[in-house]
Amino acid sequence: MDPRFQNIVDKMRERQFRITPQRLAVLKILLATKAHPSAENIYEEVKKTFPTMSLATVYKTANLLREMGEISELALKDGSSRFDGNPRPHPHVVCARCKTIIDFDDLSLDSMTAEVARKTGFTISTHRLDFFGLCPLCQKAQST
C-alpha cells in the first residue's frame, strides 16, 4: 500500500473534505499508476467497479487533489491533460504519436537529451522547459 494514501486521506479529513468512495477510487488510481492517465482513462477505470461514476466527478476530484498539492497536471498540445500522482516537477518523455508519457528522473540539461534517448529508446526531436511563477507586476498585485 502506498504510504501517501493514508496521509492524503488524513489531510482531506483535516480540511473537512468528505471522504467519498469516488474520491478514494480516483486517488488510488493516481497513486498506483505510472501511466499519466487522462480524465477519461481514470473514468473508465473507476467505472469498472463503480458503474455510477461520472466524468465530472473525476475532474472535480483531480482538481481538488491538484489544489491540495498532491498530484500534478500535464497539458498536452491537443488541449487535453494528463494527471500524475507525483506532484513535484520532473522531466517527462512524451511520444509525439501515441502520447505515451514516461518519467525521466535525472538532471543536467545539456547531456540530458542524449541520455534520455539512450535510456528510453525514444528518438527525441524536441523538448520543452518552462518555469512558472509570478512576474514582478503580479507579485505586487498579489499583495493588495
Partner DNA sequence: CTGTTTGCAAAAAATTTGCATTACC
Partner DNA sequence: GGTAATGCAAATTTTTTGCAAACAG
* Sites of contact with a second copy (CB under 8 A): 73-79, 81, 89-98, 100, 104, 107-110, 112-113, 116-117, 120-139, 141-142
To a second copy, the closest distance from the beta carbon of 128 in angstroms equals 4
The enclosing H or E element of 120 equals helix 109-120
Give, in order, the Cα–Cα distances in Å from 103 to each of 35, 36, 43, 85, 86. Answer: 9, 9, 22, 11, 10
Residue 1 contacts which entry, DNA, a second copy, none (Cβ below 5-8 A, type-dependent): none
Residue 134 contacts which entry, DNA, a second copy, none (Cβ below 5-8 A, type-dependent): a second copy
The enclosing H or E element of 102 equals strand 101-103
Kindly tell me which of 22 and 86 has the beta carbon lying closer to a second copy.
Answer: 86
Q: Would you list the DSSP string of 56-87? A: HHHHHHHHHHHHTTSSEEEE-TTS-EEEES--
Signed CA dihedral, 135, 112, 94, 96: sign only: positive
Beta strand 101-103 with 81-84 is unpaired
Residue 106 contacts which entry, DNA, a second copy, none (Cβ below 5-8 A, type-dependent): none
Kindly tell me which of 68 and 112 has the beta carbon lying closer to a second copy.
Answer: 112
Residue 32 contacts which entry, DNA, a second copy, none (Cβ below 5-8 A, type-dependent): none
Kindly tell me which of 20 and 111 has the beta carbon lying closer to DNA.
Answer: 20
Kindly tell me which of 6 and 120 has the beta carbon lying closer to a second copy.
Answer: 120
To DNA, the closest distance from the beta carbon of 63 in angstroms equals 5
